Amino acid sequence: MRDFARDHSALALNTATLGHNVDGHGAGWSTERVIDACAERGFGAITYWRREIGARAVAIGERTRSAGLVVSGLCRSPFLVGPLAPPRQAMLDDFHASIDMAADLQAACLTICVGGVVEGTHSMVESLKQVAEIIAGVAPYAAMAGVKLALEPLHPVYGGNRSCLVTLRDAVDLCETIGHPTVAIAVDVYHVWWDLTLGAELKRAGASRLAGYHLCDWLADTSDVLLDRGMMGDGVADLKGLRRAIEEVGYNGHCEVEVFSANNWWKRDPNEVLDICVERFRTVC
């Protein structure tokens, strides 16, 4: 296992940790200020949300790299299916736009949140089938743009509206069904910490299909499954065990702190939040 106590250059910030992904939240720091604050603390990378980037993708990518960091990812595709997905053509247009933005940023990957069960089907199988068809259709465009698509299985609690993809097992199956090398997987502690098959499924995925590892914690007394994630060390997830499992199969990429926390971390001074991210990364991850 890598020794993060001595070297935290693998640490990445997902800017959602500062509340930047939801209107009305966060301290309102400019992207430049976030980049500088991360660089000062020795972060290795930043993952952005599309709403922060606007028409400045090329400039923000260059600014990030000139500060000595890389762009570890871009959040995210539109929901592809289910009740929150835009109408088909609008969804495809937006999916392509998200790929273009990731390419302009030179982001290591674009996160894909597939969307919930297709209305009227009452079927995870049918919903995943439609997801596979959509991604298979878009994958060649992403590959031409040099963008890796990172499918993120979400916790089953989101199955209804946000993601009919709820286990690493199904994500590996989806990759195999699509069969395109630009389609990979993002593993997020929040969504998979409970899964006793994780080690076996990580082995089945293999390092080449692992495009990201996201860190936070699951609070034992969580009050909101969307906006009450814990900081690493404050919850019940076996963070070192999870990292050992993903590194055992060869993952050596960035580890991205992604804490959605409307009533706690998003209310704090970002300087404090970033300092604590570094400290927890070095001690409990």
Nearer Cβ to Zn ion (123/174)? 174
Tokens of 66: 């000139």
* C-alpha angle 2-8-10 in degrees, rounded to nearest 5: 70
Using the rule CB under 5 A, is 76 a contact of Zn ion?
A: no
| Nearest to Zn ion of 52, 188 (CB atom) | 188
Of 20 and 214, CB closest to Zn ion? 214
Q: Half-sphere exposure (CA, 13 Å, Cβ side) for 117? A: 12
Q: Which of residues 179-218 bind Zn ion (CB under 5 A)?
A: 188, 214
Q: Is 254 in the site for Zn ion (CB under 5 A)?
A: no
Binding span for Zn ion by CB under 5 A among 53-61, 97-105, 141-149, 258-266:
258-266
Q: Assign residue 115 a region: left if phi > 0, alpha if psi is -120 to 50, beta otherwise?
A: left
* DSSP H helical ranges for the chain: 31-40, 50-53, 57-66, 88-105, 124-145, 168-178, 189-192, 198-205, 239-248, 270-284
Binding mask 138-177 for Zn ion (x = CB under 5 A): ----------------------------------------
Nearer to Zn ion, 150 or 278 (CB): 150
Residue whose entry in the numeric block shows the structure tokens 């706690």? 264
By CB under 5 A, tell whether 104 contacts Zn ion.
no
CB of 186 to Zn ion, least distance (A): 6
Residues engaged in binding Zn ion (CB under 5 A): 188, 214, 258
